[in-house]
């Protein structure tokens, strides 16, 4: 099962969740109706009162719907809300100890290896149990929370296994499902809270007890019914999350090729505690690596996680042959120096990568990807390695990436413009960083963007928006928009969007290729022009990609690429983001066929393809190639 199939499965589980939720509401309506019969003094003389049943049903549905909506609305800012409710504090490098820095390093390596933005990391300082969670709506706004107990009791391999487990939840679409689950189940919890309020209120409906039971008794009944709701909630959590935990364990092994890491953690959990002390743990229990709640006598039925022994047994069943057979679609090879390639041979020779492998690579992590991530981080000068984690330095790095490194006159014009809108120290730092970047491999540009995102997201929404506008201003000051700067703006804006528009949650709007056909054609036109220079080669690459789109033979298809600007490309990509996972798979496949037609991939092609995949929330590891630059003819074929 690949990334796109996992995304579709997550959508199906959402529908399953809604069905189970509806059944739970129906059970609770019947229970509240029976309690109401006794309160108004009708029962046991008569048990069928359709008007009362209708009234109870309407009031209950409205109450649960409002409570669920309120909780869902409060979670609109994503995983950071959950982390803070659980007592987590944002792990800032300047304040982190050695254990915290090791955690940040692991998260950075995993993020670069998987092709997603580096998640914010929250430390649950007061929690001594071994546990962790991932929360967010998409890979682009994910956060990871880790307990202090995990840092103190796990070695690096074991901690890497836990983080790999959580990255599986990020990549497989589990996080969005978990947040929806949290919002919906709060409506059921509201019934219990209402009963608790009435129980403590202790006001009688009427002094004549023969006409009905006191209101506090009705509150007690609601608490009991709410307890049924809690049980239903636990059953729903178990139904939705148990198999996902098995998958995440297996994915952690696949990511690291080290079953001892995740097995070591699970074995320690058999001897140690994974419970959380936070009162909010009940609502978020299904999100954690291990069981966050106190075991109950019906644990096997209501536990949100499979038994530890079963998880260990399944991992132990992954023998050497299974590990070798686990998908690692694009194999890496070692070339001269410390340069890593992912199937793309140096010097423009034929590549061993197929478009199908590129599609399978989406959302996939392998040990080779870790080696690549570690190699990239090792190439960074110490000043940049530290600078990506500090707000002002991260801002300067973003500006430095937009500066022209070839034309000194243009660069001077950019600097003069920047001095008008930014403090002197930021401009000076940007100049210093620009000098360092000119000495580095160009393949570090996109990873650098991902590395600075956590520091930039510590700024306010207005500051993030201002930063993006400043980068745009620097690009505009060059007089023309290059492909590299377009990719920079596209990725930077996408990565900062959760901060700029925290209430914007993208949902699927397009399930038919006809609705986004023109957008797909335009994006393929851009890729064909970037990868080829001759008119006939451009047309051939374009057609090769188009014929991979769903229903390509049934819809009108131009013989040659359509004219497009960078602005048009951005608008089309924004619409493609709203497509269903299955459609996105077809689009990424078509893009890969367009790029790989000639069995060569230039850095410009690789960066644009990766930027498109990133913006579609289809994380893909970096493509590496020792070729540098792209011809002016190719860059000028897409106009601003």
The CA-atom distances, in angstroms, between 205 and each of 51, 55, 223 are 20, 18, 18
Give the dihedral sign, CA 525/475/339/99. Answer: negative
How far apart, in whole angstroms, are the C-alpha atoms of residue 297 and residue 435? Answer: 64
DSSP letter for each residue of 547-595: TTSTTGGGS---SSPPP-BHHHHHHHHHHHTTB-HHHHHHHHHHHHHHH
Report how far residue 32's alpha carbon sits from residue 53's, in angstroms, rounded to the nearest whole number: 9
Angle at which helices 517-531 and 566-576 pack, to 10 degrees?
130
Angle at 598 between CA 597 and CA 602, to 5 degrees: 105
From first CA to last CA, the distance across the chain in angstroms is 39
C-alpha dihedral, 615 to 621 to 627 to 628, nearest 10°: 50
Asked about 166 being catalytic, the answer comes back as yes
Is there a cis peptide before residue 44, judged by omega within 30 degrees of 0? yes
Q: Please state, as a whole number, how many other Cβ atoms lie within 10 Å of the Cβ of residue 302.
A: 17
**Looking at 77, 108, 109, 166, which residue is catalytic?**
166
SS3 state at 619: coil
> Do residues 342 and 332 make contact, with C-beta atoms less than 8 angstroms apart?
yes
Contacts of 274-277 with C-beta under 8 Å, sequence gap 24+, read 274/129, 274/130, 274/131, 275/129, 276/86, 276/124, 276/127, 276/129, 276/131, 276/147, 277/126, 277/127
Q: How far apart are CA 580 and CA 511, in angstroms?
A: 5
Angle at 265 between CA 105 and CA 297, to 5 degrees: 135
Asked whether the beta carbons of 344 and 331 are under 8 A apart, the reply is no
309 token code pair: 């022994």
Q: Which helix (H) or strand (E) holds 29?
A: helix 3-39
Rounded to the nearest 10°, the torsion over CA 545, 551, 552, 555 is: -140
- Sequence-separated (6 or more) residues with CB below 8 Å from residue 443: 376, 603, 622, 624, 625
> What whole-number distance in Å separates Cα of residue 441 and Cα of residue 626?
9
Residues belonging to the active site = 166
């Amino acid at each position: 099962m690949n990334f796109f199939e996992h995304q579709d499965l997550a959508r199906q589980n959402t529908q399953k969740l809604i069905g189970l939720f509806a059944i739970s509401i129906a059970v609770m309506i019947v229970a509240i109706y029976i309690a109401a019969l006794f309160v108004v003094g009708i029962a046991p003389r008569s048990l069928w009162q359709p008007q009362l049943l209708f009234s109870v049903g309407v009031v209950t549905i409205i109450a649960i719907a409002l409570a669920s909506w309120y909780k869902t609305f409060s979670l609109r800012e994503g995983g950071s809300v959950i982390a803070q409710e659980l007592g987590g504090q944002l792990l800032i490098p300047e304040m982190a100890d050695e254990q915290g820095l090791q955690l940040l390093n692991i998260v950075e390596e995993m993020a670069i290896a998987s092709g997603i933005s580096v998640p914010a990391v929250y430390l649950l300082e007061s929690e001594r149990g071994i546990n962790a969670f991932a929360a967010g709506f998409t890979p682009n706004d994910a956060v990871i929370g880790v307990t202090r107990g995990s840092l103190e009791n796990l070695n690096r391999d074991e901690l890497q296994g836990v983080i790999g487990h959580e990255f599986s939840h990020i990549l497989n679409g589990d996080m969005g499902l978990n947040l929806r689950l949290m919002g919906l189940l709060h409506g059921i919890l509201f019934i219990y809270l209402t009963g608790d309020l009435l129980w403590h209120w202790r006001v009688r409906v009427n002094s004549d007890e023969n006409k009905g039971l006191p209101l506090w008794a009705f509150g007690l009944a609601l608490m009991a019914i709410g307890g049924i709701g809690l049980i239903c909630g636990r059953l729903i959590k178990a139904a939705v999350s148990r198999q996902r935990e098995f998958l995440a364990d297996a994915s952690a092994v696949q990511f690291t090729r080290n079953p001892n890491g995740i097995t070591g953690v699970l074995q320690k959990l058999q001897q140690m505690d994974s419970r959380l002390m936070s009162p909010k743990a009940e609502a978020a229990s299904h999100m954690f690596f291990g069981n966050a709640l106190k075991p109950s006598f019906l644990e096997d039925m209501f536990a949100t996680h499979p038994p530890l022994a079963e998880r260990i047994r399944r991992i132990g069943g992954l023998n050497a042959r299974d590990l070798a057979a686990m998908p690692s679609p694009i194999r890496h090879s070692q070339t001269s120096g410390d340069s890593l390639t992912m199937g793309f041979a140096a010097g423009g020779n034929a590549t061993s990568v197929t478009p199908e492998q590129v599609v399978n690579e989406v959302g996939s992590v392998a040990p080779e990807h870790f080696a690549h991530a570690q190699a990239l981080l090792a190439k960074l000068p110490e000043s940049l390695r530290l600078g990506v984690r500090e707000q002002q330095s991260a801002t300067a790095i973003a500006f430095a990436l937009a500066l022209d490194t070839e034309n000194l006159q243009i660069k001077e014009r950019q600097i003069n413009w920047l001095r008008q809108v930014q403090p002197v120290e930021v401009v000076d730092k940007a100049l210093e960083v620009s000098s360092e970047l000119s000495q580095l491999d160009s393949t570090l540009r996109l990873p650098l963007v991902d590395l600075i995102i956590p520091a930039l997201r510590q700024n306010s929404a207005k500051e993030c928006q201002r930063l993006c506008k400043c980068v745009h201003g620097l690009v505009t000051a060059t007089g023309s928009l290059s492909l590299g700067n377009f990719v920079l703006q596209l990725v930077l804006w996408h990565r900062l969007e959760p901060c700029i528009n925290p209430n914007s949650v993208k949902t699927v709007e397009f399930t038919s290729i006809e609705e986004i056909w023109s957008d797909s054609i335009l994006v393929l036109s851009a890729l064909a022009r970037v990868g080829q220079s001759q008119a006939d080669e451009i047309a051939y690459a374009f057609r090769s990609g188009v014929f991979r789109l769903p229903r390509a033979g049934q819809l009108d298809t131009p013989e040659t690429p359509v004219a497009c600007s960078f602005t048009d490309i951005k608008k089309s990509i924004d619409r493609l983001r709203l497509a269903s996972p299955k459609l996105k798979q077809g689009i990424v496949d078509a893009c890969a066929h367009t790029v790989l037609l000639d069995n060569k991939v230039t850095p410009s092609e690789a960066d644009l393809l990766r930027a498109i995949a990133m913006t579609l929330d289809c994380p893909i590891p970096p493509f590496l190639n020792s070729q540098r630059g792209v011809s002016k003819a190719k860059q000028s074929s897409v106009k601003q």
